[in-house]
Structure 1
Amino acid sequence: MNILITGGAGFIGTRLARALLHDGYSVTLLDNFSPQIHGSNVELPTDLRDNVHLVRGDVRDAAMWASTLPGHQAIVNLAAETGTGQSMYEVAKYEQVNLAGTALLYDLLAKNAGYGVERIVVASSRAIYGEGAYHCREHGLVYPQPRTSADKKNGFFEPVCPVCGGVCFSVPTPEDAPTQPSSFYGLTKQVQEQMTILFGQVLGIPSFALRYQNVYGPGQSLKNPYTGILAIFSNLARAGADINIFEDGEESRDFVYIDDVVRATVACISSSATSSQAINVGSNERTTVMQVAQAVNGYFGNKSKVQVSGAFREGDVRHGMADLERAKSLLAYEPEVMFKEGLSHFLAWAKENEPELSGYERSLEEMKQRGLLHVG
C-alpha cells in the first residue's frame, strides 16, 4: 500500500512515516515547510530522505493534488493550521488550509471515482467539543456553553451547568458529545472531519477522524508559539524567564504522547473496519497547567518564577479529557506512555535545543492588540 501523508514533514508526520516504513508501507510526504512550524529548516530528517518520496507543495494547490494523489491507496491528512488563539484573527488562513485544502482533495476524489483510495485518516481535534462533558449533581451528564468573558474577568473560570447554572465537574468526553467549538480552529476541525466522514460514506472509502488530544513529545516544534504549552514552558524555563500561567493554573489537559498517537493512526490504516467515524485519541490522564509548569521548571533547576497571572485568552477551554472506549473497541488502542514518563523524554530532548522566546512574546502582543488576550 502506498500512503500519502499531508503535513508529512511535521512532528506527527515524520514519526508516522518511520512507523509505516517499518511496517513495510511505501510513503509519500507532502509539505510546504511553513516557516511558523519549521523555521528555516526546509529539509526532512536525515533518516527519511532516502526512504520516502517528498513532494514540496501546498494543500491549497489543486494542481498539486492532481499530480500527487494518483497511485496512493491511503491518505493521512495532517496538514493544518493549528493555533487556537491565532485562529481567532488569522481567519482566512485557517479556512483556506484546513477547509479549502481538504475540499480540493474531495473534489478530485469525487470526480475520479475515488482514484483507488481505500482508506483516509484526518487529524481532528478535541477542540471541536468546546468545553466538553461535565457532571452536574442535579442534572447528570451535561455539556456547558462557552465561558463568558465577564465571568473570567471576575476570576470565575469553571463552566456551569447549562440547565441550572450550578457547579459541575469535568468528566471524560465521548465522541457522541455535542460539537460546540469555542475557537475558529475548533470550528474548522469540526467541518473538516464532517467532510471526511461524509465523503467517506458517499464514496465508499472507510475514513477516520482522529480527535487527537494535546499531542507532545520529542521532535515537536519549539519555534511555533501558537501551539503547545510544553514547548512554551520549556523555552521559558531553560532561559530562566518567568512562567506566567493563564487563568488560575487549575485548567487541565489530556496530554497524549506522540508514540501513542502514531500507534492509533497506524491502527486506522491497517484496520478492517468498513465504516467511517470519529475516534478520540488520548491518555486517560488529566494534568493541570500548574502541574506542567512546576514539573518543567523543576527539571531545569527551578530557575524561573512560576506565577498565576489571571490573564485569559478568548477561545480557550477549561478542561479536556477524552473517553477512550471507542478507540479501545475499534482499534484496540490503549495509551502506553503516561505523562510523567513522556514528559521526561520530551524535556531531555528539548534540553539539547536552543530556547526560542521572541515568537511567544510576539504572539501574546498580537492577541492583546486584537482584544483576544485579557490581562488580569
Structure 2
Amino acid sequence: MKTCLVTGGAGFIGSFIVDELVKKGYAVKIFDNLDPQVHPTGKAPAYLNKQAEFIQGDVRDYDALKKALTGVDVVFHEAAAVGVGQSQYQIKQYVDVNVGGTANLLDIIVNNKTKVSKILVAGSMSSYGEGQYECEDCGIVRPPLRTEEQMKDHDWELYCPECYEDIRPIPTGEDKRLECNSIYAMTKRDQEEMVLNIGEAYNIPAVALRYFNVYGPRQSLSNPYTGVAAIFMSRIKNNHAPVIFEDGLQTRDFVSVHDIVRANIAAMEKESLSGCFNIGTGKPRSIKSIADTLIALLGKDMQPEITNKFRKGDIRHCVADISKAQEAFGFEPKVKFEDGMKELIQWSESVNAEDKFEEAHHELRKRGLV
C-alpha cells in the first residue's frame, strides 16, 4: 500500500483524512507544528490516530519537511494559516506559512528523489470573492464587491454591473474568475495554482479541492478565526448570543468534514485525476439560520444579535456548483445538515470552548476592518 503524508494532519480536516487513510490500510505520516491557536496545550490532540506516525514540524522548515517526505507516495497538503480577518494584519505570517510552506513542499519534490506520485491541496471558496449571479436580462454576471457607501446604507444585496437591476445568486462553478479580497484568499489561490503548475510541469497528478464552509467535530471552539459554526457554538456554550454581521441573510454552503474526507479519498484513488474541484453541498444556507439551528438544538433561550454592521471585504452569497466533482470522481455529499449540526453539538460537550469573539472583534475594529 502507498505511504501518505498529511501536512496539518493533527488539525480539524487533516486528522479525519488521516483516520480514513489508516482505516483503508495506507501507511500514514502526520506533519504538524501544533500551532497554539489551534492546539492551545501545545500537545498532540487525544483524537490523533495512534496508527499514524506523528512528526512535529513546520512547513516553513525545509529540512524537517524534506525528511518527512522520505518514502512518501501521496501528499495531502492541508497545512495552512486559516482566517480571513486575521490575515489582513498578520500578512507575513500567512504568506510565509501558506505560500512559503507550499513552495518548500514543491521544491523538495522537484529537486530531490522523492517517490511522490500525487499531490492533493486544500483550496478555498474564499478565493472566488463574490459568487456567481444571474440577471434576468443580462444572463450570468460577476458583480464586484459592494462599496462601503452601499454597505453604510444597509443596502446589502448586489446589483447587475451591466443594467443595475436586481440579480439572484446561482451556484458558483470552477471557471469563475478568482477575485480574492483578503490575504488569506490570495494565499489559498497561490497554494492551489503552485501545486497544479508543478504537477503539470512534472507530470505528477495534482488536485486542488476548493472547500466551502466546512464544519464538524474537532474544529477548534477556542479559535475566533475558525469557521462560523464553531464560533457560534463557542458563543452559545458560554451563554453569549451569536453575533451576526449585516442582516444575517447572506448565504454560504456548509459542508460536513466527513464529506470533505470522502472527496479527498475519492480524488486520490482516481490516480490520473488532476485539476480543481469545488467541494460543498450546492445548497445555500443563511448565516442567521446557522445560529438559529444551533440555539434550538442546544435548547437555549436567546436570539442571535443582528448587528446591521459590516466587515470590509465580506461577500454576500457564494454556493458551490459541485457538478464537476460529481462527474470526475463521483463525489456526492451524504451528511444531512441537521445531522451534522447534532454531531457537532454532541462532540462539543466534551471539549473546552473559550469564547474569544470579542477579543478578535476588538482587534479588527481597532484596525478599521469592521
Cross-structure match for 2:4: 3
Does the 8 Å CA contact 2:10/2:48 hold for their aligned counterparts? no
- Which segments of structure 1 move beyond 6 Å, counting only runs of 4 or more? none
Cross-structure match for 1:272: 271
Residue 68 of structure 1, CA deviation: 1.4
1:303–1:352: structure 2 CA closer, same or farther, 3 Å change rule? farther
Structure 2 residue ranges without an equivalent (≥5): none
SS at the partner of 1:196?
Answer: helix
Q: Distance in 1 between matches of 2:33 and 2:247?
A: 38
Cross-structure match for 2:238: 239
Does the 8 Å CA contact 2:121/2:209 hold for their aligned counterparts? yes
Does the 8 Å CA contact 2:295/2:302 hold for their aligned counterparts? yes
Does the 8 Å CA contact 1:173/1:321 hold for their aligned counterparts? yes
Cross-structure match for 1:35: 36
Does the 8 Å CA contact 1:3/1:76 hold for their aligned counterparts? yes
Cross-structure match for 2:16: 15
Q: Does 1:83 align with 2:83?
A: yes
- 2:368 alignment partner, one of 351, 365, 371: 371
Cross-structure match for 2:324: 326
Cross-structure match for 2:250: 251
Residue 46 of structure 1, CA deviation: 5.2
Q: Distance in 1 between matches of 2:251 and 2:140?
A: 19
Does the 8 Å CA contact 2:292/2:303 hold for their aligned counterparts? no
Q: Distance in 2 between matches of 1:160 and 1:303?
A: 37
Q: Distance in 1 between matches of 2:194 and 2:229?
A: 31
Cross-structure match for 1:315: 313
Q: Distance in 2 between matches of 1:198 and 1:42?
A: 35
Alignment of 1:105-184 (within 5 A): 105-112=105-112, 115-184=114-183
RMSD: 1.3
Cross-structure match for 2:63: 63
SS at the partner of 2:342?
Answer: helix
Does the 8 Å CA contact 2:222/2:352 hold for their aligned counterparts? no
Q: Distance in 1 between matches of 2:197 and 2:241?
A: 46
- 2:292 alignment partner, one of 277, 294, 312: 294
Q: Distance in 1 between matches of 2:118 and 2:301?
A: 48
1:255–1:211: structure 2 CA closer, same or farther, 3 Å change rule? same
Structure 2 residue identity aligned to 1:9: A
Structure 2 residue identity aligned to 1:321: V
Structure 1 residue identity aligned to 2:245: F
Cross-structure match for 2:94: 94
Cross-structure match for 2:279: 281
Residue 41 of structure 1, CA deviation: 4.6
Instruction: List per-residue Cα deviations over 1:224-243 (Å, max 9, x = no partner).
Output: 10121111111221222122
Alignment of 1:346-365 (within 5 A): 346-357=344-355, 359-365=356-362
Residue 315 of structure 1, CA deviation: 2.4
**Residues matched between the structures, number:** 369
Residue 364 of structure 1, CA deviation: 0.4
Q: Distance in 1 between matches of 2:28 and 2:140?
A: 43
The TM-score, its normalising length taken from structure 1, stands at 0.95
The TM-score, its normalising length taken from structure 2, stands at 0.97
Cross-structure match for 2:194: 195
Structure 2 residue identity aligned to 1:139: C
Instruction: List per-residue Cα deviations over 1:187-240 (Å, max 9, x = no partner).
Output: 111111110100000011100000000111111111110121111111221222
Structure 2 residue identity aligned to 1:372: L
